Structure 1
Amino acid sequence: MTEAGSATIESLSGDRPSRRPLEIFAAIFVVAGLIYSSHLGANALGASEAYSAWAAAKPGVGAIVRTPVLHDPGKQVFYYVVLHYYTQIFGLSEISLRSMSVIFSLVTLALVFALGCEMFDKSTALAAAAMWAFNPLAVVFAHTARMYPMLIAIALAHLLTLLRVRSRPGIIGGIGCGILGAAMAYTHLAGLLILGAEAAILLRDLSRGRRDTIAWLAIALAIVLFLPYLPVAIGQSQQMIYGHWLDYLGPPYNYPLAAKLAAGLVAAGVTCWLVLGRTVERDGNEPIRVLAAWIGLPALAFIVGSVILHPMFNPRYLSPGIAASPLLIAAVIGAWSAKWRNLLAAGFVVACLIMLPFARSKPPPWRDLAGQVAGGGASEPVFFESGFVSNASTANVPNGGFPFGYYSVPFDYYFRGANPRIAIPGFDAAAARMTIEERVSSAGGGWLVSWKDSNAVKSELPDPKRFTVVEKFRGDHLTFYRITPSGRGVPVARPAK
């Protein structure tokens, strides 16, 4: 791998044969495939990954489509449908679920190189591909059974086809571009912001006398194909806003009106400069400006929306732009100095390879939690809080999110025992406490899987004078409790605070 990094520097000089970048990219691709494919089954699935498995296991496309509508709002259906057919062939194990992400991650790597060749040259393409291939973010995406690797691959493929129909118009290419654009939006709603950024790019072309008729038709086709799902998407967005779900939208910031106006004006100014600003590139296609708009405008929309409306910014939603950023970096530095671009690419590869062993996140605890419950009585209930996963300020907001309990899905992936699973209202601590006390008293013990912090969950834990509560695990937005009636012969531990 170090040799590949060194070869990157040598191969990007102008004296080398044109095949050399392709050969080095092939070596990078193979090494990346080995890294992406390693340890796929080592860690338990995270909660969101378990939802991917749960949706993919549905009996048909109709049931899959209803899953995000009824039970998991905010998610789009295309990834679940593709994963459904993939797992029918390869099964629902951790390795098979994550292996589809490996495939899309390798497709993304090839697309980064292809985009670099389309927009710049093979040397820039190779530098960008090298910087992305071993980026810890790329490895994390490849090891995660979620929609983001698919979103990145579809978005980059859509951009590539859009650029090609922009410079070499063709009906077949335009139709393919439109289908990819719709698939992007069906994979994640952030795809709509990317379509908006591409429309801004075409508006700049129009302002300079370039019509781009086929490219405009491709954008229009993508929107038309997404229209049947738009009412569902709007309904989900409203539900998420009122639910204040932690992973999507939170309560609005109390910024002064002047700050909100300033943020809006800055966003408008940057957008106007990207669309109407004077040309600074020699290439008439303005590839650097195109990339800056494609990467920057969706990010700007999330940032400004967070200031004016609700907090909505999350790096995952910008994953296509993050994957395209090495192209922009390589192109900007290469325009100044090819030598420094090459050194940066090689140095970044070496740094990433050194960092990778230390970049692994803490494994989810679901295997251990399932093992602890299995070691108890089969009649002991396991309690899960229904409602949206919220922060402390919105935990008591009544809502209909996840009526069966958000954490019941990852728990059931690893636990097959007969213990009753009981959903308690996460937004009604008094009712939750009453249910826990009643069921634990009759069963002689029980377990609580909570997404609340220690202060918020205290009000739903049973009376410490009559019950013993032992905190068995605490992580980010996840706490696991063992609850027994006092005097049942279990080890007495400090009650959770």
Structure 2
Amino acid sequence: MLARSPRRPVQIFAAIFGVAAVIYSYRLGADALGASEAFSAWSAAKPGIGAIARTPILYEPGKFLFYYGALHYYTRIFGLSEVSLRSMSVVLSIATLALVFALGCEMFDDNTALAAAAIWAFNPLAVVFAHTARMYPMILTLAVAQLLMLWRIRRRPSASLAVLCGVAGAALLYTHMGGILFIGAALAMLVRDYIRGRRNPMPWIAMAVTLVLFVPYVPVLRAQSETMISGHWLDWIGTQYEYPLWIKVASVLGAAAVCAWFVFGASPELDRDDRLRWVAAWTILPGLVLAAGSIAIRPAFNLRYIAPSLATAALLIAAGVAQVSVKWRNLTAAGFALVCLIMLPFDRTRAQPWREIAAQVATEGGAADPVFFEAGFVSNDNAPNVPNGGFPFGFYSIPFDYYFKGANPRIAIPGFDSAAARTTIEERVSSAGGGWLVSWKEGDAINSELPDSKRFKTVEKYSSDRLAFYRITPAHK
């Protein structure tokens, strides 16, 4: 019987890599940009780094400078089309796939790495990230790269690689606040190493470089945190859950107990180098901490914020199943990849309507008809009407302006003051003879904002979750 070629896993990975690159690149410009993607385009189009830096500080707390800065220079070369904006995510996504394979080879073996790559490559979440002009593919790339370098210098000390690892960690923090969760997981496992007598200074140097490089941003982070608490929580987290105190305490203590086990628990004889524990910590701890915080403080859990954990979960599954059976590891990887490929044609997100909205404004009514946008942070349905300074021009004006270049006046109305918004709409529509409203509100919230039905005719042109589009005209027209 012929021996299996040691190059075979690499060759199969190359085939997976090629297929994934094609899938990630397919139909990049078919769907209109979503509102958040248009925000990326708007940020990247700023004239310089100073203006770009103010974008997340003022309008998007929790998201930092690095992604928008990189996208700025990328789009200066390739333009601001949907394909160009999303293609950077494609590049980052295929880089992440290569890093998952490299991490598997470094921590385990080529065949486990191949299985992990097969599990991750066609995962619907990986495909969605690749097709989205947002910072989440960059978070994936930087976090997995940092883990790979950290593991290498942990086993083979290198001062130059330690510095590079520290820079990658800082870049992760400068991309998204969620990077703190992965820096924390790494520090927890390095504490474990220290307790168990592994006193290699290079990983600690890497962590020090990360923290030193991020220190200049700490005052900005403090200001952003205040904005998140006082205003931006209206957007992506919403109001505090009314859990009983004992559930909050139990969730925090439970998360702390799991963290303590990862740091202080005994290692099995078959894994004295803690390979599985490291991958498990990176995969489990960020989501666990975020979930416990969501219960104890305010809801903040979203799979996007722990995207790197989803990639390392593929390696954890491959390595974990291999402990039981190599055959089952291979079958699991092949079966999962096949199911994902079968599901891909059906796994389509709802197309964004901004092209159609722009087309209707261009073809119906006149150029003098104002388009109204609610100023303020986009509110959760249950959030109170709290005055705030978020998006004074109206968040939805950003995707609208990406597709609509007409002269129609854009009017910002206070999203937190329905009475004032209604008055403005009625006055401007009466003067112009017609108008449009783009709203994030639903139900009673939007009804209190719409003009008097006896004096105005309101026609709903589009409605979905957190987006409604109305044509408003005087009743006599």
TM-score, normalising length: structure 1: 0.94
For residue 72 of structure 1, report the CA deviation from its aligned partner: 2.8
For residue 280 of structure 1, report the CA deviation from its aligned partner: 1.4
| Counterpart check, 1:402 vs 2:391 | yes
| Counterpart check, 1:206 vs 2:205 | no
Matches within 5 A, 1:41-190: 41-190=29-178
Q: Which residue of 2 aligns with 1:393?
A: 382
**Structure 1, residues 275-295: CA drift from partner, whole Å, max 9, x if none?**
000111523321110011111
Residue 188 of structure 1 aligns to a residue in which SS? coil
Bigger Cα displacement from structure 2, 172-181 vs 226-235: 226-235
For residue 15 of structure 1, report the CA deviation from its aligned partner: 4.2
User: For 2:402, which of 413, 425, 450 is the aligned residue?
Assistant: 413
User: For 2:266, which of 266, 278, 281 is the aligned residue?
Assistant: 278
Q: Which amino acid aligns with 1:430?
A: A
Instruction: Say whether the 8 Å CA contact 2:235–2:380 is kept in structure 1.
Output: no
For residue 393 of structure 1, report the CA deviation from its aligned partner: 2.7
Residue 270 of structure 2 aligns to a residue in which SS? coil
Q: Which residue of 1 aligns with 2:276?
A: 288
Residue 170 of structure 2 aligns to a residue in which SS? helix
Residue 473 of structure 1 aligns to a residue in which SS? strand
CA distance in 2, matches of 1:247, 1:22: 44
- 1:368/1:395 CA distance change after superposition, 3 Å: farther
| Counterpart check, 1:237 vs 2:220 | no
CA distance in 2, matches of 1:98, 1:246: 28
For residue 392 of structure 1, report the CA deviation from its aligned partner: 2.9
| Counterpart check, 1:192 vs 2:180 | yes
Name stretches of at least 5 consecutive residues in structure 1 with no aligned partner. 1-12, 489-497
Instruction: Say whether the 8 Å CA contact 1:71–1:403 is kept in structure 2.
Output: no
CA distance in 2, matches of 1:79, 1:155: 14
Bigger Cα displacement from structure 2, 384-393 vs 114-123: 384-393
Instruction: Say whether the 8 Å CA contact 1:395–1:426 is kept in structure 2.
Output: no
For residue 260 of structure 1, report the CA deviation from its aligned partner: 1.1
For residue 391 of structure 1, report the CA deviation from its aligned partner: 2.0
| Counterpart check, 1:37 vs 2:40 | no
Residue 39 of structure 1 aligns to a residue in which SS? coil
CA distance in 1, matches of 2:296, 2:2: 49
- 1:416/1:127 CA distance change after superposition, 3 Å: same
CA distance in 2, matches of 1:403, 1:247: 15
Residue 33 of structure 2 aligns to a residue in which SS? coil
Q: Which amino acid aligns with 1:161?
A: M
Instruction: Say whether the 8 Å CA contact 2:236–2:380 is kept in structure 1.
Output: no
Q: Which residue of 1 aligns with 2:327?
A: 339
| Counterpart check, 1:263 vs 2:251 | yes
User: For 1:226, which of 187, 193, 214 is the aligned residue?
Assistant: 214
CA distance in 2, matches of 1:465, 1:130: 61
Q: Which residue of 1 aligns with 2:340?
A: 352
Q: Which residue of 1 aligns with 2:9?
A: 21
Q: Which residue of 2 aligns with 1:3?
A: none
CA RMSD of aligned residues (A): 1.2
Residue 271 of structure 2 aligns to a residue in which SS? coil
CA distance in 1, matches of 2:359, 2:149: 49
**Structure 1, residues 414-461: CA drift from partner, whole Å, max 9, x if none?**
000000000000000010000000000000000000001122111111
CA distance in 2, matches of 1:241, 1:287: 38
For residue 50 of structure 1, report the CA deviation from its aligned partner: 0.2
CA distance in 2, matches of 1:281, 1:472: 65
**Structure 1, residues 381-426: CA drift from partner, whole Å, max 9, x if none?**
0000011111233241111111110100000000000000000000
**Structure 1, residues 337-384: CA drift from partner, whole Å, max 9, x if none?**
000110111111110110000001111000000000001200000000
Q: Which residue of 2 aligns with 1:306?
A: 294
User: For 1:478, which of 464, 467, 471 is the aligned residue?
Assistant: 467
| Counterpart check, 1:424 vs 2:416 | no
For residue 14 of structure 1, report the CA deviation from its aligned partner: 11
Name stretches of at least 5 consecutive residues in structure 2 with no aligned partner. none
CA distance in 2, matches of 1:379, 1:281: 76
Residue 243 of structure 2 aligns to a residue in which SS? coil
For residue 247 of structure 1, report the CA deviation from its aligned partner: 4.7
Q: Percent identity?
A: 63
For residue 16 of structure 1, report the CA deviation from its aligned partner: 1.3
Bigger Cα displacement from structure 2, 315-324 vs 227-236: 227-236
CA distance in 2, matches of 1:215, 1:247: 37
Residue 424 of structure 1 aligns to a residue in which SS? strand
Residue 383 of structure 1 aligns to a residue in which SS? strand
For residue 249 of structure 1, report the CA deviation from its aligned partner: 2.4
Residue 382 of structure 2 aligns to a residue in which SS? helix
Q: Which residue of 1 aligns with 2:435?
A: 446
**Structure 1, residues 65-100: CA drift from partner, whole Å, max 9, x if none?**
011112333321100000000000000000000000
Q: Which amino acid aligns with 1:374?
A: A
